[in-house]
Amino acid sequence: MKILIIDDEKILRDTIVRFFSLEPDLEVKAAGNAFSAQRMIAEESFDIVVTDLDMPDMSGLELLEWLREEKPLLPVLMMSGYGQIQDAVEAMKFGACDYMVKPLAPKDLLTRIRHIAATRRLHAQVERGRFAEELSQDLLGDSPAMRKIKATLAQVAPTPATVLITGESGTGKEVVARSIHRLSPRKHKRFTVINLGAVQENLLESELFGHEKGAFTGASFKKAGLFEEASSGTLFLDEIGEMPLHLQVKLLRVLQEREVQPVGSTTSFPIDVRILAATNADLVERIQKGLFREDLFYRLNIVQITVPPLRDRREDIPLLAGHFLQKCNRTMGKTVNTIDADALQSLQSYAFPGNIRELENIIERAFIFAETERIRLKDLALSSESSTTKQMKAGTLEEAQKQVIITTLRRWEGNRSKAARELGIDRKTLVNKIKSYGLTDI
């Protein structure tokens, strides 16, 4: 634990530092005034700040106000003289986590600091548990790929970071975006969605940035754009790869300057909105073809989350199918309780070119035509052209076997033992095949 002590009384400051330095798990630094402390906090990371309330250059309250702007999650403990207790209480209203009255013993201060640290760890565990529970409701699946995505979301959601979500059509990119919003500090504000590939190019600029009255033929009134409407919330730009190049320039400026200039206006205004973007296109390839700006890509790609296709997370199919079955039971006015084992097996061997969206459609259709309270194999209208068996016929058996091994290894994040178990072969056989196919880098 790294602690910063701020006090203009050198004797007290040095006494605390010497005492704390005897603790093997503590790293202690000290500053004699608030300005020095600000420089240190800007350059280093601390777990807790202990500051005097009464300092000559900048008061502890002023420093606290600065900290709440710069480091809102950093806990601050105030030290005050006997006659300053009311000021210390006021500091707690402004975000200090605790206060102690001088004169104080270093031992008592250390006890209070350890209590604050333990409380924060407990709160962090509770918050992680809440995130995990909410993510489980939104993002169904317990495959290695989904566990990795959920772990990333739990870290990214509370921050203001721009996120680029990639993946094939139908994999659930918008669900991921909504989860980020729902777990963020903006969760009570608007979540606004626009599919950039579904809006006519001549209307898209006005839709995003707004326009002034008379900006173009037919603009008979002033219109707010989605960036303005999503203020304080989240704007999800779906199919970002379809955005015209001339509008990519304007989007880049929004991301850099955090301000928007409506069509027909000569002035800009500031915005406070979190940007999430998604695409099923290969943006690197589009950059090489001159269809997407490289500088915009790097602005969007602060954090990238890749949603895997359903064929790479087959173990999640029973859970997803059950979820869609329950949804049908709630909305369709009839009851179908379960899915037969052979039907589930058939679903798990299907390639799902349409991913989760296709699975939902298949379950909904099977539900409608089910003659009993069970979905049977004959109720599933699966295209044999899209089945794994049909795919294997497209190439040699060796090519198909190689592809199956690649998919299985990726699903288990390179774990040879787990992949061999799923493939029904021993680990040594799998290792030999990996070497023969040149797959040692997976």
Is pTM, for the whole model, over 0.75? no
pLDDT at residue 382, rounded to an integer = 80
Report the C-alpha gap between 25 and 177 in whole angstroms: 39
Report the C-alpha gap between 296 and 326 in whole angstroms: 42
Amino acid, res. 93: K
* Per-residue pLDDT tens over the stretch 58-79: 888 899 989 888 888 889 998 8
Written as six digits, the tokens of 398 are: 């060796």
Written as six digits, the tokens of 104 are: 């104080």
Tell which residue, 241, 224, 310, has the closest CA to residue 277: 241
pLDDT at residue 195, rounded to an integer = 92
- Residues of the chain whose pLDDT is less than 50? 385-396
Set out the domains of the chain in order of their start, with CATH numbers: 2-131 (3.40.50.2300), 144-306 (3.40.50.300), 311-379 (1.10.8.60), 397-437 (1.10.10)
pLDDT at residue 241, rounded to an integer = 94
pLDDT at residue 220, rounded to an integer = 76
Q: 259's torsion region: left (phi>0), alpha (psi -120 to 50) or beta? A: beta
Cβ neighbour number for residue 41 with a 10 Å cutoff: 20
SS (H, E, C) the chain: CEEEEECCCHHHHHHHHHHHCCCCCCEEEEECCHHHHHHHHHHCCCCEEEEECCCCCCCHHHHHHHHHHHCCCCCEEEEECHHHHHHHHHHHHCCCCEEEECCCCHHHHHHHHHHHHHHHHHHHHHHHHHHHHHHHHHCCCCCHHHHHHHHHHHHHCCCCCCEEEECCCCCCHHHHHHHHHHCCCCCCCCEEEEECCCCCHHHHHHHHHCECCCCCCCCCCCECCHHHHCCCCEEEEECHHHCCHHHHHHHHHHHHHCEECCECCCCCEECCCEEEEEECCCHHHHHHCCCCCHHHHHHHCCEEEECCCHHHCHHHHHHHHHHHHHHHHHHCCCCCCEECHHHHHHHHCECCCCHHHHHHHHHHHHHHHCCCCEECHHHCCCCHHHEHHHHHHCCCHHHHHHHHHHHHHHHCCCCHHHHHHHHCCCHHHHHHHHHHHCCCCC
Q: Across the chain, which distance is largest between two alpha carbons, in Å? A: 86
Amino acid, res. 64: L
pLDDT at residue 395, rounded to an integer = 45
pLDDT at residue 91, rounded to an integer = 81
Tell which residue, 51, 47, 46, has the closest CA to residue 61: 51
Amino acid, res. 383: S
Q: What residues does 100 pair with on adjacent strands?
A: 79
What count of residues does the chain have?
442
* Per-residue pLDDT tens over the stretch 243-266: 999 999 999 999 998 999 988 888
Report the C-alpha gap between 132 and 320 in whole angstroms: 18
Strands 76-80 and 48-52: parallel
Tell which residue, 40, 96, 44, has the closest CA to residue 65: 96
